[in-house]
C-alpha cells in the first residue's frame, strides 16, 4: 500500500530523540549538522523560494492543512542549510518534505499521490497537456523511490530532529495574533507573509519566534495597519524599520535584530515572488545533470510504452472493424461498384480486407 512506507519508522526514531532538545529552549535556532548561516548565491536563493512555492502549491492540491505545508517548507529550508541545495532535484526534495511532514502531522499522503501531484504541477508550469502520471510506469516508480530516498536524506542531515510545536512559526503566529487582538484581515495578510518568510534561509537559521514576529510585522505592512499593541504613543505604523514597534516584538523575542533580519529577507522574497514568471519555473541550470538524465530516461521509457499501447489498441480496433466488415460481407454480397473498388484496391488495404 503506497501510503504505508518503511520511512514511517524514521519518524518514530525522531520521537525517541526528542530528549536531545532539552539542552535548547523551545523555539531555539536549529543546531543540526551544517545549520550555520553562510552566504549563498542568488540562484540558490531563487531555488529555495521556488521549492517552497512548490511545497505550498502541491500541499494545497493534496488537501494538506496549512500548518502541514508550513512544516514541510521549514523542513525543506533546514535541509537546504545542511548541504549544497542546488546539487539535488528540487521538486523531488519538495515532494519529500511534504511526504515527511504529512506523516509527522498525522496527515499522511502516499508517495504515489505526492509524485502525481508533482507531475501535474510540472505540466501546469510548462503549459504541457495535463497527462496523469501512469501509476505503473517507470517514471512513477522512479519518482516514488526518489521521494523515499530524499526523505531519508533529509531526516539524516537534520539529525532526525523534526521541528515541532513552538519551533514552527505557523504555531506561534495565531497565538500572537490572538494576543494582539488582531482581526481577520490582518490574519489573512499574515498567512501570505508567513509563506514569504518560509521561502527564505532565515526561516531555518533564526528562531521560530523571530520568524513569527517578522511574519506578523510584514502582514501588518501589507494590510497598511498599525499593530494594536506596541504602536507607540505617536501611532508609528507597522512598516517602520524595527518591524512594527519594538515593544511587542521584544516581549515575544528579545533579540529584535534577528526578527529584523528575517523581516528584511521576507520583504525581498515577497518582491522577488511578485516579479517572478512562475511559481515552479526553476532557475536556469539548477537541476543536476544526473537527476535530469534519470528523469528524462524514465520519461522516454513511459512515452515509448504509451506509443506501444496506442499502436496495440489501434490494431485491435482495426481487427474489430475488419471482423465486422467480414460479417456484413457474408450476410450480403457486395454491390458491383464496391466489388470493383475492392478489386482495384491494393493488397492489404482496408477496402481489400473488407470485401476480399
Question: By mean pLDDT, which of 25-39, 75-89, 210-224 is the weakest?
Answer: 25-39
CATH 1.10.472.10 residue ranges for the chain: 42-163
| pLDDT classification of 275: cutoffs 50, 70, 90 | very low
Give the pLDDT score at 129: 67
* Contacts with 136 (C-beta within 8 Å, 6 or more apart), sequence order: none
Range 83-92 average pLDDT: 83
Cell of 26: 523551545
3-class DSSP assignment, residue 12: helix
The model scores a pTM over 0.75: no
Report yes or no: 113 and 193 within 8 Å, Cβ to Cβ: no
Give the pLDDT score at 297: 65
The CATH number of 42-163 is: 1.10.472.10
pLDDT digits (tens, 9 = 90+) for 72-81: 999 999 998 8
Polymer length of the chain: 356
State the Cα–Cα distance between residues 99 and 148, nearest whole angstrom.
8
State the Cα–Cα distance between residues 166 and 351, nearest whole angstrom.
76
Report yes or no: 13 and 100 within 8 Å, Cβ to Cβ: no
CB atoms within 10 A of CB 165: 11
pLDDT digits (tens, 9 = 90+) for 95-125: 999 999 999 999 999 999 999 999 888 888 7
Per the model's pLDDT, the better-predicted residue between 6 and 291 turns out to be 291
Report yes or no: 71 and 163 within 8 Å, Cβ to Cβ: yes
Report yes or no: 120 and 151 within 8 Å, Cβ to Cβ: no
Residue whose entry in the numeric block shows the C-alpha cell 517552497: 52
Top mean pLDDT of 27-41, 67-81, 151-165, 221-235 is at 67-81
State the Cα–Cα distance between residues 302 and 284, nearest whole angstrom.
25
Q: Return mean pLDDT, the chain.
A: 73
Range 129-147 average pLDDT: 85
Amino acid at each position: 500500500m503506497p501510503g504505508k512506507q518503511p520511512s514511517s519508522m524514521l519518524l518514530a526514531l525522531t520521537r525517541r530523540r526528542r530528549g536531545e532538545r532539552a539542552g535548547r529552549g523551545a523555539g531555539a535556532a536549529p543546531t543540526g549538522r551544517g545549520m550555520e548561516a553562510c552566504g549563498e548565491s542568488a540562484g540558490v536563493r531563487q531555488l529555495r523560494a521556488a521549492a517552497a512555492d512548490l511545497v505550498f502549491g502541491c500541499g494545497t492540491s493534496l488537501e494538506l492543512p496549512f500548518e502541514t505545508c508550513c512544516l514541510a517548507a521549514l523542513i525543506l529550508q533546514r535541509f537546504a542549510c545542511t548541504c549544497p541545495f542546488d546539487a539535488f532535484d528540487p521538486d523531488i526534495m519538495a515532494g519529500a518534505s511534504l511526504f515527511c511532514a504529512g506523516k509527522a502531522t498525522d496527515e499522511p499522503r502516499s508517495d504515489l499521490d505526492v509524485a502525481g501531484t508533482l507531475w501535474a504541477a510540472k505540466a501546469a508550469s510548462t503549459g504541457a497537456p495535463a497527462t496523469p502520471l501512469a501509476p505503473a510506469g517507470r517514471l512513477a516508480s522512479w519518482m516514488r523511490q526518489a521521494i523515499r530516498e530524499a526523505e531519508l536524506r533529509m531526516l539524516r542531515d537534520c539529525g532526525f530532529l523534526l521541528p515541532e510545536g513552538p519551533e514552527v512559526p505557523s504555531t506561534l503566529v495565531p497565538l500572537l495574533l490572538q494576543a494582539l487582538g488582531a482581526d481577520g484581515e490582518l490574519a489573512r495578510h499574515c498567512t501570505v507573509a508567513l509563506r514569504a518568510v518560509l521561502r527564505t534561509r532565515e526561516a531555518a537559521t533564526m528562531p521560530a519566534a523571530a520568524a513569527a514576529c517578522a511574519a506578523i510585522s510584514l502582514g501588518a505592512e501589507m494590510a497598511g495597519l498599525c499593530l494594536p499593541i506596541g504602536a507607540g504613543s505617536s501611532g508609528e505604523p507597522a512598516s517602520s524599520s524595527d518591524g512594527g514597534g519594538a515593544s511587542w516584538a521584544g516581549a515575544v523575542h528579545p533579540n529584535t535584530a534577528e526578527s529584523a533580519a528575517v523581516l528584511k529577507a521576507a520583504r525581498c522574497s515577497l518582491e522577488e515572488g511578485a516579479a517572478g514568471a512562475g511559481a515552479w519555473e526553476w532557475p536556469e541550470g539548477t537541476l543536476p545533470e544526473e537527476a535530469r538524465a534519470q528523469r528524462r530516461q524514465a520519461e522516454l521509457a513511459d512515452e515509448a510504452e504509451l506509443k506501444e499501447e496506442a499502436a496495440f489498441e489501434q490494431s485491435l480496433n482495426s481487427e474489430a472493424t475488419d471482423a465486422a466488415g467480414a460479417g456484413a460481407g457474408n450476410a450480403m454480397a457486395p454491390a458491383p461498384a464496391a466489388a470493383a473498388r475492392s478489386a482495384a484496391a491494393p493488397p492489404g488495404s482496408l477496402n481489400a480486407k473488407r470485401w476480399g
